[in-house]
Amino acid sequence: MSRVLYLAHRIPYPPNKGDKIRSYNTIRHLAQNHEVDLICLADDRRDLKHRKELSALCRKVAVLPLNTFKAKVNGVCSFLKGATISERYFYRRRFQRIFNAWTRETPYDAVICFSSPMAQYLLEDDFIATKGGSMRLVMDFCDVDSEKWVQYAAKHGPLPGMVFRREGMRLLDYERRINRLFDHSIFVSEKEAALFKGRCRDARNISVVPNGVDCDYFHDGASFRASAPRDPTLMFAGAMDYYANVEGVSWFCRAVLPAVSRTLPGTVFNIVGSNPNASVRALAEKDGVNVTGFVEDIRPWYREADLCVIPLRIARGVQNKVLEAMAMGKAVVATPQAVEGIGARDGEHVVVADTAERFAASVSSLMASPEARTTLGRAARLYVEREYTWAGNIRKIRTMVS
């Protein structure tokens, strides 16, 4: 049984947001055939209690709290010194000490880093030069993070835009360095892999491991079905302190929902997800908009929805929120950015709309036809059952660490 050390920038439990869903399921499936140790950060102290759930999967678990205020200060200081914000934001000396101690004590067969800032712990004290050759080094980039900063720059004013563009450039240099040092570099989709290869002409050992969805958990079972809604009901699910989600629902409420409501009076838009920031909470003041905050079980909200909308205009890779909605058998209307890594066909598995006008028209058209929604939802469910199982997708990572 191979021994694997897994480093994550955010505790992989509960699996209720994109990065945590991917890291949790990777660990869950690796643990079936490998001995896994985990070191991770927790930027929400409420998540510290979940160490016991991870201990059921892992031989050893270390969860370290991350003070986000101090992390931001460290990130800014790092940027002013010519490095990236991202690295020092996620750096903890105690994390480094635990990593050093565990790698001295245990002859790991492989180290997996989830998210590029975790690689910095391997760059200290010549670790790769002295010990890296005896173990396989795997970087799960997931998305091309440097490209996200470029997208952020386009959405902000001159000064923050300049900072974000510079961060993107520096982070790309850092990602290129990691790719040269690690044995395997993983991306979540062929498009993300192609983007990285285009940015780094000398990229090597690139693999694609898509996300998955737990189709046994996410299903539109009649025994769980909520009562039929009285009004036309739309839904978006996601962490509501994440900029891309906040920007997306704000745009939808401003540019799309009024047109839908004129066609379908009484339309309800449920924004379901943890930690809604002030701008998201303010959306609840609009007619028909409901902001839930954290929910224990998201499935009843999916079942109550007539239609799921994914209005992301900033997105990379494979969006778990799209896969979950499809697994629930829901008709989905999404922007091109939200589905570009999934491979679903427009009009067959989802409906893709690239402008506010087309988005509103697509929503209104589907809401007027229960048969069309049912047909689209069934095709969506069959598609994710065929293409997006965790067990099948994680098999490739197993071969990298065995």
Q: Is residue 398 part of a domain?
A: no
C-alpha of 210 from chain center: 12
Give the structural domain span for 163.
Answer: 3-209
Residue 116 sits in the same domain as residue 176: yes
Give the chain's end-to-end CA distance (angstroms, integer).
8
pTM equals 0.84
Residue 21 sits in the same domain as residue 164: yes
Q: Which two tokens stand for residue 137?
A: 């080094």
- Selection from 382, 316, 375, 317 nearest residue 351 by Cα: 375
d(CA 80, CA 341): 34
Residues of the chain with confidence (pLDDT) below 70: 132, 221-230
Q: Residue by residue, what is the 3-state secondary structure of 192-235?
A: HHHHHHHHCCCCCCEEECCCCCCCCCCCCCHHHCCCCCCCCEEE
Q: What is the pLDDT of residue 318?
A: 82
Residue 180 sits in the same domain as residue 230: no
Residue 259 sits in the same domain as residue 329: yes
Residue 107 sits in the same domain as residue 163: yes
Residue 190 sits in the same domain as residue 302: no
Domain stop point among 184, 209, 234: 209
Asked if 284 and 250 count as a contact pair (C-beta separation under 8 A), the reply is no
Q: What is the pLDDT of residue 393?
A: 87
Q: Is residue 31 part of a domain?
A: yes
Residue 196 sits in the same domain as residue 341: no
d(CA 34, CA 32): 6
Residue 114 sits in the same domain as residue 239: no
The domain tally of the chain equals: 2
CATH of the domain at 103: 3.40.50.11720
Q: Dump pLDDT digits (tens) for 305-349.
A: 999 999 999 887 788 999 999 999 999 999 999 998 898 999 999
Q: What is the pLDDT of residue 66?
A: 96
Q: What is the pLDDT of residue 341?
A: 82
Q: Is residue 62 part of a domain?
A: yes
CATH of the domain at 333: 3.40.50.2000
Residue 300 sits in the same domain as residue 159: no
Q: Dump pLDDT digits (tens) for 208-223.
A: 999 999 999 998 864 3
Q: Dump pLDDT digits (tens) for 1-33.
A: 799 999 999 999 998 888 999 999 999 999 999
Residue 75 sits in the same domain as residue 179: yes
Kindly provide the b/e burial profile for residues 110-130, where b requires at least 16 CB atoms within 10 angstroms of the residue's own CB.
Answer: bbbbbbbbbbbbbeeeebbee
Residue 168 sits in the same domain as residue 234: no
Helices (H), 90-216: 93-105, 120-123, 127-130, 145-154, 158-181, 190-199
Residue 190 sits in the same domain as residue 232: no
Q: Residues with Cβ < 8 Å from 268, sequence gap 6 or more?
A: 229, 231, 232, 233, 234, 288, 290
Domain stop point among 174, 209, 244: 209
Q: Is residue 393 part of a domain?
A: no
